Amino acid sequence: MTIFSKIVSGEIPCNKVLENEEFLAFHDINPKAPIHILIIPKKEYKNFQEVDPKVMVGLTKFTHQVAKLLGLDVSGYRLITNNGSDGGQEVMHLHFHLLGGAKLTWSHLSDSDSHKFL
């Protein structure tokens, strides 16, 4: 069972933002922006590569609701999913990071020289 499944079951507490039968949104414990929400399907999928694409329809609608609830639909936001080892994924339960509340920068994605990959 993943740590996020323990949050879904209530075994581990979270600061909840929105919930329905299939999805849960809660504040990240270690925020990287003024607003940093994690959005997950309650059912465990390892990551984006493994998710049933049909789930993404509901997850997209749910994410729109979360953004609206927090006013981010107007001010803007960034949506990220880390996939696997090189993607920097730490929790093996599909989740999207919804980041906002400030003008976000776009830098230092890798310790390697990015020009080598362009």
Binding site for ligand 5GP (CB under 6 A): 3, 12, 14, 26-30, 38, 82, 88-91
Classify burial at 63, counting beta carbons within 10 Å of its beta carbon; exposed 0-12, middle 13-18, buried 19 or more.
buried
Element (H, E) at 97: strand 96-100
- The CB-of-99 to ligand 5GP minimum distance in angstroms stands at 10
Helix (H, G, I), strand (E, B) or coil at 100: strand
Q: Judged by CB, which is closer to ligand 5GP: 108, or 116?
A: 108
Assess contact for 100 and 78: CB atoms under 8 A.
yes
- The CB-of-20 to ligand 5GP minimum distance in angstroms stands at 18
The whole-angstrom separation of Cα 82 and Cα 46 is 11
Q: Judged by CB, which is closer to ligand 5GP: 90, or 115?
A: 90
16-19 sheet: strands from edge to edge: 16-19, 23-27, 35-41, 96-100, 78-80
Among 95, 97, 108, 115, the one annotated catalytic: 95
Q: Judged by CB, which is closer to ligand 5GP: 12, or 69?
A: 12
Does the active-site annotation cover 95? Answer: yes
- The CB-of-72 to ligand 5GP minimum distance in angstroms stands at 17
- Residue positions annotated with a catalytic role: 95
